[in-house]
């Protein structure tokens, strides 16, 4: 979808996604069998691919010194929509879910029409033309083979990949790992335990979404103040302070993950939940920090780069829960993921970002290898 | 230093509001849970 946003314009791509998911949502309101409903809702769920389209569109419209805040507000506030929907829709529609599907589908179609009618691919025609001209296969492979892009992809796997993993894992973790402590609070029935565990788990996703704009703002601030505190990272690139801010986030995420294990092993439910809130904030620092860099690192290929970083990293949502469940002691899964995955990820990130070599030279194959010697478009990703 | 656009001031207000909402809902929800009344945020 990132490629499509570069190629066809984000407004066309986003309108297409909203249109098909809106139509399918309307169709699902008339489903009479579970199988049909399941398939139709599966298609509606695919609307999540619109994330990278929006990242690309924001990058085409906002200035470099404000890009972190702009991307953060788009992505953070947008993700909070899922939580708001979960809170509001049951209270608004009760058990009449088909009415909710119908109304949301109509709203999606309306927004699709508005986006298509009023949307422009970029602030100026040159930026849109540059993105469109860089959508070839070799251009895509060039992005995928830059070590810095791989480092950012791993950083996003450490943040957003972990966020979606925790969304699915945490309710079961608290219901199982803190069953006795939750029972002591007065929740003894199965449904009551699930509700309490869900409340604790929601602390993570809520904070991870709503603090994300602040992370983008902090990235802008570090860039403005030119803060580069880590001597083992390069300070040469124009976006170096943003990389240093992201490094801070990655360390915080790893420390918080180990603290979750410590609180669990000690059986301290209140401490675990407070750490979880801090963990959610650290995750938001990571997610906001990554996409404050991607559009600046790949100015000519924002959609392709956003698709690579934002798409591949979601594999963490599947892999981490498998590790959490595989470790015999349910509390040790977090520290295991931190040691086995995150320490090597950070090591690669540092190695990729400590180099003073240009983006074009620091990767698998040179820029010339993938793009040829002749430049067909103005500007450059360096 | 590059001049900020007009939206940036409102953008900062929005992000501070979002942080305040996150803190308030988290504290309220956990207070409910730890007094045996969970269910607001879940």
Burial zone of A319 (CB within 10 Å; 0-12 exposed, 13-18 middle, 19+ buried): middle
Tokens of A139: 């251009």
CA distance A142 to A366: 8
- Which residues lie across from A146 on neighbouring strands? A363
Collapsing DSSP states into helix, strand and coil, what is residue A29?
A: coil
The model carries a pTM of 0.87
- Which residues of chain A carry a pLDDT beneath 70? 87, 356-357, 359-361, 373-382
Task: Find tokens 């994330």 and name the residue.
Answer: A51
Instruction: Give the nearest chain B residue to A224 (CA atoms).
Output: B1
CA distance A313 to A115: 28
Using the beta-carbon criterion (under 8 Å), do A73 and B4 form an inter-chain contact?
no
How far is C-alpha A25 from the chain's CA centre? 24
CA distance A276 to A260: 7
Using the beta-carbon criterion (under 8 Å), do A66 and B5 form an inter-chain contact?
yes
Q: Is B9 on the interface with A (CB under 8 A)?
A: no
Residues of A with Cβ-Cβ distance to B29 under 8 angstroms: 199, 202-203
Q: Best mutation site among B12, B14, B17, B18 for testing chain A: the one with the most A CBs within 10 Å?
A: B18
Residues of B with Cβ-Cβ distance to A73 under 8 angstroms: 11, 14-15
Tokens of A351: 């190695």
Instruction: Give the nearest chain B residue to A200 (CA atoms).
Output: B30
A25-65 residue pLDDT tens: 999 999 999 999 999 999 998 888 888 888 888 888 888 88
Instruction: Give the nearest chain A residue to B38 (CA atoms).
Output: A196
Distance from A382 to chain B by nearest Cα, in Å? 21
pLDDT at A229 (0 to 100): 92
In this predicted complex, what is the ipTM? 0.84
Using the beta-carbon criterion (under 8 Å), do A211 and B11 form an inter-chain contact?
no
CA angle in degrees (0–180, nearest 5) for A28-A30-A33: 80
Distance from B30 to chain A by nearest Cα, in Å? 7
pLDDT at B42 (0 to 100): 45
CA distance A339 to A323: 12
Cα distances from A133 to residues A24, A136, A363, in angstroms, run 33, 8, 22
Half-sphere exposure of A12 (CA within 13 A, CB side): 11
Cβ neighbours of residue A33 closer than 8 Å, sequence gap 6 or more: none
């Amino acid at each position: 979808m990132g490629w499509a946003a570069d190629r066809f314009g984000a407004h066309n791509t986003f309108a297409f996604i909203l249109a098909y998911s809106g139509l399918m949502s309307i169709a699902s309101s008339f489903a009479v069998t579970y199988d049909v409903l399941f398939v139709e809702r599966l298609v509606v769920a695919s609307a999540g691919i619109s994330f990278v389209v929006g990242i690309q569109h924001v990058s085409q419209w906002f200035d470099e010194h404000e890009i972190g805040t702009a991307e953060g507000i788009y992505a953070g506030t947008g993700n909070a929509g899922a939580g708001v929907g979960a809170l509001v829709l049951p209270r608004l529609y009760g058990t009449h879910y088909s009415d909710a599907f119908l109304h949301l589908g109509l709203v999606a179609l309306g927004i699709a029409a508005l986006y298509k009618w009023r949307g422009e691919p970029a602030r100026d025609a040159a930026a849109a033309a540059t993105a469109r001209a860089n959508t070839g296969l070799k251009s895509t492979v060039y992005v995928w083979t830059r070590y810095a892009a791989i480092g950012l992809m791993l950083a996003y796997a450490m943040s957003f990949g972990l966020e979606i993993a925790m969304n699915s894992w945490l309710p079961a973790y608290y219901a199982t790992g803190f069953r006795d402590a939750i029972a002591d609070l007065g929740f003894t029935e199965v449904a009551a335990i699930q509700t309490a565990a869900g409340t604790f788990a929601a602390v993570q996703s809520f904070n991870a979404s709503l603090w994300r704009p602040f992370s983008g703002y902090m990235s802008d601030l570090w860039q403005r103040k030119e803060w580069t505190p880590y001597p083992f990272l390069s300070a040469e690139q124009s976006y170096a302070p943003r990389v240093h801010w992201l490094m801070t986030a990655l360390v915080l995420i790893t420390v918080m993950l180990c603290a979750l294990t410590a609180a669990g092993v000690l059986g301290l439910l209140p401490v675990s939940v407070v750490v979880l809130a801090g963990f959610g904030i650290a995750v938001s620092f990571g997610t906001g920090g990554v996409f404050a860099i991607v559009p600046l690192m790949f100015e000519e290929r924002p959609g392709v780069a956003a698709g690579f970083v934002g798409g591949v990293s979601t594999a963490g949502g599947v892999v981490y829960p498998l590790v959490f469940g595989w470790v015999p002691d349910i509390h040790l899964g977090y520290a295991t993921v931190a040691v086995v995955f995150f320490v090597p990820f950070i090591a690669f990130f540092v190695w990729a970002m400590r180099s003073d070599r240009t983006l074009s030279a620091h990767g698998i194959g040179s820029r010339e290898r993938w793009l040829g010697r002749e430049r067909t478009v103005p500007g450059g990703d360096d | 230093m590059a001049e900020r656009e007009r939206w940036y001031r409102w953008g900062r207000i929005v992000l501070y509001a979002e942080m305040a909402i996150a803190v308030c809902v988290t504290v309220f929800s956990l207070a409910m849970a730890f007094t045996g009344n969970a269910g607001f945020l879940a």
